[in-house]
Amino acid sequence: MDIKKVMNNLTKRGFKPFYFESRKEALDFILDTIPQNASVGMGGSMTVKELDLDNMLYKRGNTIYSHSLVAPEQRQNVYQLAGSADWYVSSTNALSEQGDFVNIDGSANRISALAFGVKNILYVLGANKIAPDLASAIDRARNIAAPPNAKRLNKNTPCATSGQCSLCDSDDCICNATLISHHPTRYQENVYVVIIGETLGY
C-alpha cells in the first residue's frame, strides 16, 4: 500500500485526509479539530472504542449521541439525534486506495448519518482497513469486518460461526444496507479522514 497515493486520491475526491503513525498524534489532532462545544454523533465503532475517543470527547464536555451509552429502548431516539449532530465520528469497514469508503449496516443508522444530515464528518481508521480497490474493499467489509461484528453482537448468522459471508437471509443479518461513498455529498461541509499507521478495529 502506498499511503501517499491514498492521501492524494482522497484529496482529489474532496476529502480532507491526514495520516499519523501513532494513535496519540491522531487523537491530539481529532481533539483539536472537533470544537469542545459541538454535539457528536457516533455509531458502534470498535476503532473509536479502542481509541477511547468517545469517552475523551464526553469527559471534556462534548454532547455525545451514541447508542452504546443508552438503554436499548432509547436507541431509536439517539439514532435520530446522532444523524443531526454537529459532527459524526465513525470508522469505516473498508477504504479503497482509490478513495472509496465501504460501509455495511444492519440498521442503517450509521450510513444514513454518513450520507446525509451531518455537515461535519470525521472518519478514523487504522491502515489495516485500506484495500487495493473497490472490489477488495467490498470483500473486506463482508468477509473481514462483518463476521467478527456479528459474533461480537451475538447474532445468529452463518458468518458468526464460519467467519465467512454467505449473503444470508437471516433475521439477524447485520448486512442489510451498503453505502459506498466516492465523494463528500453536497450537504457536507467537511469530511476529515484520519488514518493511523496501526491495526485498529475489524
- In tens, the pLDDT along 102-158 reads 999 998 999 999 999 899 999 999 999 999 999 999 999 999 999 999 999 899 999
Q: Are 83 and 49 in contact, with CB atoms under 8 Å apart?
A: no
Report whether pLDDT(74) > 90.
Answer: no
Domains in the chain (CATH in brackets) are 3-196 (3.40.50.10420)
**What pLDDT is attached to residue 159?**
95
- Answering whether pTM is above 0.85, one says yes
**What pLDDT is attached to residue 90?**
97
Which of 149, 145, 142, 147 lies closest to 158 in space, CA to CA? 147
Q: Are 43 and 49 in contact, with CB atoms under 8 Å apart?
A: no
Exposed, middle or buried, 169 (CB in 10 Å: 0-12/13-18/19+)? exposed
Report whether pLDDT(68) > 80.
Answer: no
In the chain, the amino acid numbered 46 is M
Beta partners for 77? none
- Ramachandran bin of 154, using left for φ above 0, alpha for ψ from -120 to 50, beta for the remaining angles: left
- Pick the more confident residue, 153 or 40: 40
B/e letters for 62-73, b = 16+ CB within 10 Å, e = fewer, are: bebbbbeeeeee
Report whether pLDDT(73) > 90.
Answer: no
- Here the cell at position 64 is 455525545
- Here the cell at position 122 is 470525521
